[in-house]
Amino acid sequence: MTDATQRGFSLLEMVCVLAIIALMAAVLLPFIPHQTSRSRLQAYALQAATLLKADRNAAIERSTSVATLVDAASRVIHSGSSRTTLRIPDDVRFDTVLPQSCQRQAARSTIRFFANGSSCGGSIALTRLDAGYDVRVNWLTGRVEIIARDTAN
């Protein structure tokens, strides 16, 4: 026969093991990268479209041109009519198609809106794994639209 005091784990041993696991989790959890979800990616596309629409409306209201700066290298979009800035996280692919010139002037990474509501156009693509959104500005009407695309091929 075996002694009953020698089998299994004591409550104190279990508490110590759980405390060590909790301590390790508390130390390592901040280092685990937080990934952008599909809904958060959609929110970034909506924020970009809202910023562009606000700049278009400001151009119409002020009867002047307004340029939205789209800096793909820094991963930011700066409003030309307010201090609003949208930062895109590093795990989201951020691509742009912008005009090289607008009304015979260098565009320099901008989407420009004019007093009549028109624009020189441009497109911003935000993609992450199996989800993607294009924020497009129509060059003739200045209309801003979001187009979802399926990137799981």
pLDDT along the chain (153 residues), means of 10: 63 88 85 79 95 96 94 93 93 91 81 94 91 94 91 56
> What is the value of pTM for the model shown?
0.75
Residue 143: CB atoms within 10 A of its CB come to 16
Domains of the chain: 38-150 (3.55.40.10)
CB 138 within 8 A of CB 119: yes
pLDDT at 38: 87
Cα gap 111→102, rounded to integer Å: 9
pLDDT at 100: 87
CA-to-CA separations, 87 to 6, 50, 90, 130, 143, in angstroms, rounded? 60, 14, 9, 21, 22
Q: List phi, psi (to 5°) of 125.
A: -110, 125
Cα gap 86→48, rounded to integer Å: 7
